[in-house]
Structure 1
Amino acid sequence: MIRRVLAVAALASAALATVPATAQAAPICRAGYMCNTQYFSDPARTNLVGVKTEFCDGEVSTWGRVTGYITWSASPCS
C-alpha cells in the first residue's frame, strides 16, 4: 500500500513539474458529485482543447489534451 502511495505521489510531482507556473490544477471530484474539467490552450481560456467528465457512477470520459488552463464545475448527483 505504501509503495502505491509513493508511486502516485511521484507521478503527481512529475506532472506538476511540467505545468506552467500560472496554470492551475483541477480540484478533486468529491463522492456524490458529477464534475467537469475543461482544458484550454491559453490563460485567457479562448481555445478549448480537452474535457474530462467524472460521472456520478464513477465512469470517467475524456477527450483532447490536458493543459494547466482550466475551468472546473461540480454538480450534486440526484
Structure 2
Amino acid sequence: MIRRVLAVTVLAAATLATVPSAAQAAPRCPAGYECNTQYFSDAARTNLVGVKTEFCDGEVSTWGRLSGYISWSSSPCRD
C-alpha cells in the first residue's frame, strides 16, 4: 500500500514539474502603466519567440509566438 501511495506521489510531482511556467497567464497591465511581455521557448529565457507591448494610450503591439516562458515588466506612463 505504501509503495502505491509513493508511486502516485512521484508521478504527480513529475507531471507538475513538466508544466511550463508559461501555463500561467501574464499579469494584467494596470491602468497608467506601459507593459511588456516577452515570450521565450526555453526556461533559461535565451530564445525569444514573441513580444506583446501594451502602450499607455491603449494600443497593443505583438509579434511572433505569444506562448512559452514569459518575462513581464511594466513602467508608469508619463503625463
Structure 1: 5+ residue stretches without partners: 1-19
CA deviation string 1:27-56 (max 9, x = no partner): 000000000000000111110000000000
Distance 2:20 2:53 in 1: 23
Root-mean-square deviation (CA, aligned residues, Å) is 1.3
Counterparts of residues 1-78 of structure 1 (less than 5 Å): 21-23=19-21, 24-78=24-78
Equivalent position amino acid for 1:22 in 2: P
Identity in percent: 78
Q: State the secondary structure of the residue aligned to 1:61.
A: strand
Q: Tell me the CA shift for residue 26 of structure 1.
A: 0.7
Q: Could you list the runs of 5+ residues in structure 2 that have no partner in the other structure?
A: 1-17
Q: Please identify the structure whose Cα radius of gyration is greater.
A: 2
Contact conserved, 1:37 with 1:73, CA < 8 A, in 2?
yes
Superposition TM-score, scaled by structure 1 size: 0.70
Q: How many residues align?
A: 59
Query: How far apart are the structure 1 equivalents of 2:19 and 2:56?
Result: 32
Q: TM-score, normalised by structure 2?
A: 0.70
Specify the SS of the correspondent of 1:46: coil
